[in-house]
Amino acid sequence: MRAAVATLCVTAALVAAGPTGPADAAAAPAGPRIEVEIPGPEHGGDAGSGHARVPAAGSPAKASGRLSPAERSADGQVTKMIDNGSSADRLDVVVIGDGYTAAELARFHTDAEQKWAEVTAVEPYTTYRNLFNVWTVDAVSHDSGVSGDPDPATVRDTALGSYFWCENIERLLCVDQPKVDTYVAKAPAADLVIVLANSAKYGGAGYNEPSATLGYEGISTASAGHPKSGQVAIHETGHSLGKLADEYFYPGVPDYEKYTGPEPGESNSSVLPADRMAAQRAKWYRWLGEESPDGGTVGGYEGGNYFVTGLYRPTDNSLMRVLGKPFNLPGVESMIAGFYQHARIVTPLTPTDRTLRLRHKAKAAVPKLAGADGRQLVVRWYLDGRELRRFEGRTEVSVAELWLFDLRTHRLTVTAEDRTPSVRDPKVVRTLRSSVDWDVRL
Ligand SMILES: [Zn+2]
């Protein structure tokens, strides 16, 4: 469904792209092309302005690989910038810099910290920041800065081949994806990839096709030195992690005046106006009438998913439409659902592959939530499925405290549960729980 809409969008992207650089079609490399989202214009407010199919392998100006032995030894270094535990139970974000020379790698690390701070300033990232690990992978570039900055004639030799003016759109910041993948592969795990260009020029791109080989949900490119670039990257994670639709649309573009297709698959786009949504108990009906963090109340606002009429969005101006805004309530719910596709909220610290005896303790780690309301995960313990209420909230229990009185092997279980008011869909609520079991006996 998304692919069908996306193909149509190429036309809109061309119309909506605004000023373009000199035509350079003859120089475009052959090979596979992939779809990317184009960020909205710097002063336009819109989060995006359509899609383009771009060369997967980036611009014809390739990295030469000219690195000294010292540069080569610095290249590919992996650092766990934010460590919240085992990759098996966390969302792993991989940040790679492009256009940083060996001497500039320290600044890349500062830039990566700064960009992650921008992401985690936005809910629900703020509340759930401890569910994430962030890895940096050092990519040493021969030149400082990236191609296309400040103008299309500027070509630089960089590790990932980043370039502005991709497809002649100034703010579209493309990369050589196979090259990015060689660096992503150096990190122990990757659910999401951010490529930071060493540049202060406004721009970015969303590569939102999941990687078949490396498992990540998408790549966002962003310039390190432009504050709006971080907002573009967060918007892109709305697609890659939250599976959200764009809430912007194309007034004045003939093919996008009226939508007449089937109900879209995304949780924040519907053919149903609010009254019919409520009657049919569909899509975001549980949120209708609630005050949303992006302003106004949740309803059925006509326009969205690129079409001016025939499709509705939950609020007027969420982050899926306008840069610098928060997600709306249905968007927050979908982001949390996406987080829990990758995160588990209880991790055994005591191994689970052997029977625990009287002298042993069962220990587990449960992440702290960091929301303004102070709400925490609910931790409960069970013996053979019966709750041991006296242990609620604890993260370790010794076998001696269980008062076992027979010689059978019993099953001790700890569960962590997220009772967030930001999720109302029972199908999602069921995923906000993790548990660990141990065999225990006298
Ligand atoms: Zn978008």
Q: What's the 403 CA to ligand 1 centre distance in angstroms?
A: 56
Q: What's the 427 CA to ligand 1 centre distance in angstroms?
A: 25
Q: Is the pLDDT of residue 66 over 90?
A: no
Q: Say which CATH class 346-440 falls into.
A: mainly beta
pLDDT digits (tens, 9 = 90+) for 392-431: 999 999 999 999 999 999 999 999 999 999 999 999 999 9
pLDDT digits (tens, 9 = 90+) for 328-376: 999 999 999 999 999 999 999 999 999 999 999 999 999 999 999 999 9
**Phi/psi of residue 328, nearest 5 degrees:** -85, 175
Q: What's the 43 CA to ligand 1 centre distance in angstroms?
A: 17
pLDDT band for position 29 (cuts 50, 70, 90): low
Give the architecture-level CATH label for domain 2-240. 3-Layer(aba) Sandwich (3.40)
pLDDT digits (tens, 9 = 90+) for 300-310: 999 999 999 99
Q: What's the 269 CA to ligand 1 centre distance in angstroms?
A: 13
Q: What's the 294 CA to ligand 1 centre distance in angstroms?
A: 17
Q: What's the 36 CA to ligand 1 centre distance in angstroms?
A: 9
| Neighbouring residues of 146: CB distance < 8 A, sequence distance ≥ 6 | 98, 99, 156, 158, 162, 163, 164, 173, 197, 198, 199
Q: Is the pLDDT of residue 25 over 70?
A: no
Q: What's the 413 CA to ligand 1 centre distance in angstroms?
A: 41
Q: What's the 259 CA to ligand 1 centre distance in angstroms?
A: 18
Taking the CB of residue 178, how many other CB atoms lie within 10 A of it? Answer: 14
| Neighbouring residues of 289: CB distance < 8 A, sequence distance ≥ 6 | 297, 298, 299
Question: How far apart are alpha carbons 32 and 47 in whole angstroms?
Answer: 27
pLDDT digits (tens, 9 = 90+) for 182-229: 999 999 999 999 999 999 999 999 999 999 999 999 999 999 999 888
**How far is residue 138 from each of residues 57, 199, 361, measured CA to CA in Å?**
20, 16, 41
Closest to 436 (Cα-Cα) out of 406, 399, 411, 410: 411
Q: What's the 60 CA to ligand 1 centre distance in angstroms?
A: 27
Average pLDDT over residues 22-28: 43
Question: How far apart are alpha carbons 351 and 373 in whole angstroms?
Answer: 33
| Neighbouring residues of 131: CB distance < 8 A, sequence distance ≥ 6 | 84, 90, 91, 339, 343, 345, 367
B/e letters for 160-177, b = 16+ CB within 10 Å, e = fewer, are bbbbbbbbbbbbbbbbbb
pLDDT digits (tens, 9 = 90+) for 141-188: 999 999 999 999 999 999 999 999 999 999 999 999 999 999 999 999
* Comparison of pLDDT for 291 and 19, the residue scoring more: 291
The pLDDT, as a whole number, for residue 9 is: 43
Average pLDDT over residues 95-99: 98
Residue with tokens 């966390």: 90
Contact 121/106 with Cβ under 8 angstroms?
A: no
The pLDDT, as a whole number, for residue 111 is: 97
pLDDT band for position 31 (cuts 50, 70, 90): confident
Q: What's the 442 CA to ligand 1 centre distance in angstroms?
A: 57
The ranges assigned to domains in the chain are 2-240, 254-341, 346-440
Q: What's the 283 CA to ligand 1 centre distance in angstroms?
A: 19
pLDDT band for position 62 (cuts 50, 70, 90): low
Q: What's the 51 CA to ligand 1 centre distance in angstroms?
A: 9
Closest to 48 (Cα-Cα) out of 179, 205, 254: 205
Q: What's the 48 CA to ligand 1 centre distance in angstroms?
A: 5
The pLDDT, as a whole number, for residue 45 is: 83
Q: What's the 285 CA to ligand 1 centre distance in angstroms?
A: 23
Closest to 78 (Cα-Cα) out of 92, 88, 67: 92
Q: What's the 270 CA to ligand 1 centre distance in angstroms?
A: 16
Mean pLDDT, the chain, whole residue set:
92
Q: What's the 399 CA to ligand 1 centre distance in angstroms?
A: 51
Q: What's the 7 CA to ligand 1 centre distance in angstroms?
A: 14
The pLDDT, as a whole number, for residue 61 is: 67
Q: What's the 176 CA to ligand 1 centre distance in angstroms?
A: 21
DSSP line for 210-221: PPTTT--S-EEE
pLDDT digits (tens, 9 = 90+) for 276-290: 999 999 999 999 999
